């Protein structure tokens, strides 16, 4: 996991997703060669400044929002997407379950 500033996350978001705006997290899954045994999932790149701003806007603690974003990014590492309504519902239900198991509230209830 790497924490970066807004300029760097914006640049990475453009390079890898062709989006011109910054984002709170990017996930880079590890494409393991067949001959290598590893449990490494990949990398997460987080912009803490954006997490802080979002936390304030959503009236959440930075800790709770960061936990949610890390869970969200990790789900992307293992193949989950939110590219349509059905996939978004699946991903959100897993995020909610994990957040509650960690002692946090449902992150989608503001």
What CA–CA distance (Å, rounded) separates 24 from 54?
9
Return the structure tokens found at 31.
Answer: 């494409």
Range of the domain at 83: 58-110
- Are 8 and 26 contained in the same domain? yes
- Are 8 and 45 contained in the same domain? yes
- Are 64 and 46 contained in the same domain? no
- Are 89 and 70 contained in the same domain? yes
pLDDT score recorded for residue 34: 86
- Are 34 and 74 contained in the same domain? no
Is the pLDDT confidence value at 28 over 80?
yes
- Are 44 and 84 contained in the same domain? no
**CA distance to 4, 29, 37, 81, 105, per residue, from 89 (Å):** 29, 21, 32, 10, 17
pTM of the predicted model as reported, rounded to 2 decimal places = 0.92
Is the pLDDT confidence value at 59 over 90?
yes
Please compute Rg for the chain using Cα positions. 15
- Are 17 and 63 contained in the same domain? no
Q: pLDDT tier at 65 (50, 70, 90 boundaries)?
A: very high
- Are 69 and 100 contained in the same domain? yes
Q: Percent of the chain beyond pLDDT 90?
A: 90
- Are 36 and 82 contained in the same domain? no
- Are 20 and 1 contained in the same domain? yes
Coil, helix or strand at residue 41: coil
Instruction: Quote the number of domains for the chain.
Output: 2
Please give the backbone phi and psi of residue 69, each rounded to the nearest 5 degrees, phi first.
Answer: -65, -35
Q: Minimal CA–CA distance to 54: which of 14, 94, 9, 85?
A: 9
- Are 66 and 110 contained in the same domain? yes
Is the pLDDT confidence value at 110 over 80?
no
| Residue 82 half-sphere exposure toward CB, CA atoms < 13 A | 12
């Amino acid at each position: 996991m790497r924490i970066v500033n807004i300029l760097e996350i914006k640049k990475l978001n453009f390079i890898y997703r062709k989006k011109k705006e910054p984002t709170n997290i990017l996930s880079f899954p590890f494409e393991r060669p067949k001959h290598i045994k590893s449990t490494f999932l990949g990398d997460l790149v987080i912009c803490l400044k954006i997490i802080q701003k979002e936390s304030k806007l959503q009236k959440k603690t930075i800790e709770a929002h960061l936990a949610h974003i890390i869970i969200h990014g990790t789900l992307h590492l293992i193949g989950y997407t939110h590219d349509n309504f059905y996939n978004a519902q699946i991903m959100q239900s897993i995020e909610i379950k994990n957040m509650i198991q960690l002692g946090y509230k449902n992150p989608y209830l503001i």
